[in-house]
């Protein structure tokens, strides 16, 4: 792989230097700052200030009285103590992590296989399949969740009908009235299918883009030397595309960790057993008659910190690849 | 063997491979091509099926929807569900109101974040300045901050400002979420415009503003279209903020309307699928137009290898 470190070092933007990497310094010093000023204002107001508020509120009691205008009471670590001793928090965390592991693994494996397949198809066939795959990607999360609830439903649901058609020896019988939303595990199964269906296209298309950038001679050579598809993938394709797989892994983890809309539609705020972290935070804050925004903030802070840790890995990869130059 | 690659591979290697495999190799190749195409069609079917099923259900009369033996296509297609939805069947608010709200939110987001993104992209692609790297890293980081967490403080902020239950408050939030990725995407387009073109315009006496309008803007127009579609989809699909901030049904955008409708009439699959179809099709069309740009924006450098 190319060493991009010099590019990154050059881009660190030392003010006094006359020959920085990408752009020539100009005499109009204030220009770039004026150009990014509106963006900075928007991001500060809508991202940084709210994040600071989450941190602050997680140490406060913010309920109905505070919403009505009373000043927030500081409660120290009480919110954190209360969530860490709440079995529901640990269960939500467990669900979040297990779901992310399952969904990310399936998404990456399926997406990579489809990417490899797209690379081998004729031009016209590849165009058709990628257009189809785009349809899954483009579907808004809210409709995807509703469609999958319908597909897995008990009245007129096509999945139960299909499972019933299959030989009983294979899948067992009695699927007609099988309720896919009766237990958290079943709900999460449907959720996983739904999320994987929506996210494998991005992986497939990215892997395809990576494959197109590989020199064809390498794989040809491996083939001539008698390497099978499996060996060629692990010996050549995967190491060459390692950066792209890393980015895909990190992005998938981030996206699947905070999945909200689909779970909200499929399971709602009443099924506390099926909470993940984001739904748990939301439900503590807005779910009951008594808003508990302080408690919700503590959960949101935990979720944000976990995601920022993963994001740090992503930023590191991007910087190494010279993307931030 | 590799259908696409074998034609592109250097002549010598391809011929050597063929000699080794002989006749059997070529026949195996054709069989393999058939197998690959079958696999391709299977992937296509799996990817398209749920959406196709949604559209098909939307056109089915109720007997067919709840039949114990579902059929892939409507036997006697009907428009009754679309009539119901478009005729103000949902919460006694006209569907066009929801559509107008969604369109208003999406277009305002596109417009404002587009203008801001162009400015910032020029700064990042054309100038070396002190906190450039910090700014770029910040753009990456804020894209990953969970909206599900930010919804809590933003709800309080907007409430304090009296902007809760208003589309204006919502649009401000959407701009914040669409902006970082828009800049990230656009800066590539700005960087791709040869600097010499602008310098030539400057030598001919054009000021920076004039150079921008006559040289840079026309050249980054395709990128601006791609970015706009991305912002449009972000705002069009957004659910959690709209659901939390809005009270009045008159102000609901389509996704919140869908959730409301789904929660209150969970067995009216015909109308639910009809309104899902109306919500989904514009996004799919836009998406097919813009998808290549989105991938390269997200994984960008990774592909260069």
Residue B245 sits in a domain whose CATH number is: 1.10.3720.10
The number of beta carbons lying within 10 Å of the beta carbon of residue B166 is 16
Asked if residue B291 and residue B245 are part of one domain, the reply reads: yes
Give CA–CA dist B261/B252, Å, rounded. Answer: 11
A302 pLDDT tier (thresholds 50, 70, 90): very high
**B296 close to A (CB below 8 A):** yes
Contact B152/A at CB under 8 A: yes
Q: A3: pLDDT confidence band, cut at 50, 70 and 90?
A: very low
**Do B76 and B101 belong to one domain?**
no
Picking from B30, B61, B82, the residue at the C-terminal end of a domain is B82
Q: Identify all chain A residues contacting B279, using CB atoms and an 8 Å cutoff.
A: 140, 142-143
Which chain A residues have a beta carbon less than 8 Å from that of B55? Answer: none
Residue A234 has pLDDT above 50, yes or no: yes
B197 and B58 fall within a common domain? no
Q: Are B273 and B161 contained in the same domain?
A: yes
Q: What percent of chain B has pLDDT over 90?
A: 46
Interface of B with A in 26-45 (CB under 8 A): 33, 36-37, 39-41, 43-45
Q: Are B124 and B187 in the same domain?
A: yes
CB contact under 8 A, B40 and A129: yes
- C-alpha B262/C-alpha B249 separation (Å) is 14
Looking at residue B300, its pLDDT comes to 52
N- to C-terminal Cα separation, chain B: 25
Residues 6+ apart with CB under 8 A from A2: B304, B305
Cα distances (angstroms) measured from residue B293 to each of A14, A214, B100: 31, 20, 28
Q: Which CATH architecture has domain A73-320?
A: Orthogonal Bundle (1.10)
Q: Residue A269 pLDDT more than 70? A: yes
Residue A176: pLDDT band by 50, 70, 90 thresholds? confident
For testing contact with chain B, the best of A130, A210, A220 (most B CBs within 10 A): A220
Structure letter (DSSP) for residue A180:
T
Tell me how many degrees the CA angle B24-B30-B33 measures, rounded to the nearest 5: 140
Q: What is the mean pLDDT of chain B?
A: 84
Number of domains in chain B: 2
Q: How far apart are CA B43 and CA B218, in angstroms?
A: 39
Given this model, what pLDDT does residue B2 score? 37
- Residue located via tokens 């991009």: A4
**Chain B within 8 Å of A324 (Cβ-Cβ)?**
yes
Q: Which pLDDT band holds residue B22 (cuts at 50, 70, 90)?
A: very low
Confidence of residue B25 (pLDDT cuts 50, 70, 90): low
Assess whether B24 and B104 both reside in one domain. no
B150: helix, strand or coil: helix
Residue in the block written with tokens 């869908």: B258
Alpha-carbon gap: A303 to the closest alpha carbon of chain B (Å): 8
Whether residues B37 and A121 touch (CB distance < 8 A) is answered with yes
Identify whether residues B9 and B113 lie together within a single domain: no
Same domain, B69 and B118: no
B53 exposure class (CB count in 10 Å sphere: 0-12, 13-18, 19+) = middle
B68 vs A161: CB contact, 8 Å cut-off?
A: yes
Q: Which residues contact A167 (CB under 8 A, 6 or more apart)?
A: none
> What integer pLDDT is reported at residue B7 of this predicted model?
36
User: Taking chain A, what is the end-to-end CA distance rounded to the nearest angstrom?
Assistant: 18
Smallest CA–CA distance, residue B75 to chain A, in Å, is 15
> What whole-number distance in Å separates Cα of residue B198 and Cα of residue B128?
17
| B50 vs A contacts (CB less than 8 Å) | 136, 139, 144, 147-148, 151, 197
- B159 with B289, same domain: the answer is yes
Report which of A59, A56, A58 is spatially closest to residue A74, judged by C-alpha positions.
A59
Query: Does residue B75 sit in the same domain as residue B144?
Result: no
A263 in contact with B, Cβ within 8 Å: no
Q: Are B182 and B107 part of one and the same domain?
A: yes
Does position A318 have pLDDT exceeding 80, yes or no? yes
Same domain? For B72 and B143 the reply is no
Select from B82, B117, B140 the last residue of a domain. B82
Give yes or no for residue A12 having a pLDDT over 60: no
Confidence grade of residue B185 (pLDDT, cut at 50, 70, 90) = confident
Which of B45, B65, B82 is at the close of a domain? Answer: B82
Its ipTM equals: 0.83
Is-contact B285 A136, C-beta < 8 A? no
Q: How large is the C-alpha radius of gyration of chain B?
A: 26
**What stretches of chain A show up as alpha helix (H) in DSSP?**
5-10, 30-43, 49-57, 64-67, 78-84, 87-120, 123-138, 141-151, 158-165, 168-171, 184-213, 216-224, 229-232, 238-240, 242-257, 261-266, 277-282, 293-320
**Cβ distance A253 to A312 under 8 Å?**
no
Q: Comparing C-alpha atoms, which of B87, B62, B98, B94 is closest to residue B269?
A: B62
Kindly determine whether residue B47 and residue A132, on different chains, have CB atoms separated by under 8 Å. yes
pLDDT of residue A99: 97
Q: Are A95 and A188 in contact (CB under 8 A)?
A: yes
Residues from chain A contacting residue B149 (CB–CB below 8 Å): 51, 54, 278, 281, 300-301, 303-304
- pLDDT attached to residue A225: 86
What is the rounded CA–CA span in Å between residue B193 and residue B183?
16
Calculate how close chain B gets to A255, using CA atoms only, in Å: 8
Q: Can you say whether the dihedral through the CA atoms of B133, B136, B140, B146 is positive or negative?
A: positive
Q: Which domain holds residue B73?
A: 3-82
- Residues in A touching B271 (Cβ below 8 Å): none
C-alpha span between A149 and A159 (Å, rounded) = 10
Strands (E), B97-154: none
B85 falls in which pLDDT band (50, 70, 90)? confident
- What is the tens place of the pLDDT at every residue in B117-128? 999 999 999 888
pLDDT at residue B14 tops 60: no
Chain centroid, CA A199 distance in Å: 9
Q: Is the pLDDT of residue A194 over 90?
A: yes
Beta bridge partners of A74: A60
Closest CA to B262 of B273, B250, B251, B248: B273
- d(C-alpha A181, C-alpha B83), whole Å: 31
Q: Is residue B13 very low, low, confident or very high in pLDDT (cuts 50, 70, 90)?
A: very low
Q: Is the pTM of this model over 0.95?
A: no
Give the closest of A50, A117, A161 to B154, CB-based: A50
Tell me the C-alpha distance between B236 and B284, whole Å.
12
């Amino acid at each position: 792989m190319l060493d991009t470190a010099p590019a990154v070092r050059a881009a660190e933007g030392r003010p006094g230097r006359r020959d920085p990497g990408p752009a020539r310094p100009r005499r109009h010093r204030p220009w770039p700052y004026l150009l990014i000023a509106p963006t900075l204002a928007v991001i500060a107001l809508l991202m940084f200030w709210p994040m600071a508020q989450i941190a602050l509120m997680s140490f406060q009691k913010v309920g109905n009285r505070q919403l009505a205008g009373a000043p927030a009471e500081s409660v120290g670590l009480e919110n954190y103590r209360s969530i860490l001793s709440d079995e529901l928090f640990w269960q939500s965390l467990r669900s979040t992590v297990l779901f992310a592991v399952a969904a990310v693994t399936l998404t990456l494996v399926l997406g990579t296989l489809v990417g490899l397949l797209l690379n081998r198809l004729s031009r016209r066939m590849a165009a058709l399949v990628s257009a189809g795959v785009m349809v899954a990607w483009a579907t808004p999360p809210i409709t995807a969740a509703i469609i999958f609830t319908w597909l897995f439903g008990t009245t007129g649901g096509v999945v139960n009908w299909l499972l019933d058609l299959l030989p009983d020896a294979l899948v067992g019988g009695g699927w007609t009235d099988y309720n896919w939303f009766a237990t958290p595990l079943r709900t999460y199964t449907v959720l996983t299918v739904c999320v994987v269906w929506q996210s494998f296209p991005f992986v497939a298309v990215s892997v395809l883009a990576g494959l197109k950038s590989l020199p064809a001679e390498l794989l040809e050579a491996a083939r001539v030397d008698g390497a099978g598809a499996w060996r060629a993938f692990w010996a050549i394709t995967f190491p060459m595309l390692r950066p792209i797989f890393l980015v895909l892994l990190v992005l998938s983890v981030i996206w699947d960790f905070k999945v909200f809309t689909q779970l909200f539609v499929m399971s709602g705020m009443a099924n506390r057993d099926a909470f993940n972290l984001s739904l748990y935070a939301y439900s503590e804050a807005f779910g009951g008659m008594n808003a508990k925004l302080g408690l919700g903030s503590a959960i949101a802070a935990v979720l944000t910190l976990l995601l920022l840790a993963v994001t740090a890995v992503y930023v590191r990869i991007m910087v190494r690849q010279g993307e931030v130059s | 063997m590799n259908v696409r690659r074998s034609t592109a591979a250097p002549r010598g290697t391809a011929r050597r491979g063929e000699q080794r495999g002989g006749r059997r190799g070529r026949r195996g190749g054709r069989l393999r091509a058939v197998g690959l195409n079958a696999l391709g069609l299977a992937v296509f079917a799996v990817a398209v099926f749920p959406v196709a099923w949604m559209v098909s259900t939307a056109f089915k009369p109720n007997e067919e929807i709840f039949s114990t033996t579902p059929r892939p296509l409507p036997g006697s297609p009907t428009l009754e569900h679309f009539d119901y939805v478009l005729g103000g069947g949902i919460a006694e608010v006209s569907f066009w109101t929801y559509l107008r709200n969604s369109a208003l939110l999406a277009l305002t987001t596109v417009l404002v974040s587009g203008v801001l993104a162009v400015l910032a992209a020029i700064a990042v692609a054309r100038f070396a300045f002190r906190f450039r790297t910090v700014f770029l890293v910040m753009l990456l980081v804020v894209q990953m901050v969970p909206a599900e967490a930010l919804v809590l403080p933003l709800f309080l902020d907007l409430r304090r400002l009296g902007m809760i239950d208003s589309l204006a408050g919502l649009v401000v939030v959407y701009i914040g979420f669409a902006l970082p990725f828009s800049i990230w995407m656009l800066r590539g387009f700005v960087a791709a415009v040869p600097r010499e073109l602008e310098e030539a315009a400057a030598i001919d006496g054009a000021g920076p503003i004039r150079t921008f309008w006559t040289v840079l803007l026309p050249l980054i127009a395709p990128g601006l279209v791609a970015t706009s579609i991305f912002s449009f989809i972000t705002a069009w699909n957004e659910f959690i903020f709209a659901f939390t901030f809005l009270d009045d049904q008159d102000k609901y955008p389509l996704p919140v309307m869908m959730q409301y409708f789904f929660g209150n009439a969970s067995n009216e699959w015909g109308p639910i699928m009809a309104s899902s179809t109306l919500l989904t099709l514009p996004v799919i069309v836009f998406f097919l137009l813009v998808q290549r740009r989105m991938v390269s924006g997200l994984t960008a450098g990774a592909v260069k290898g």
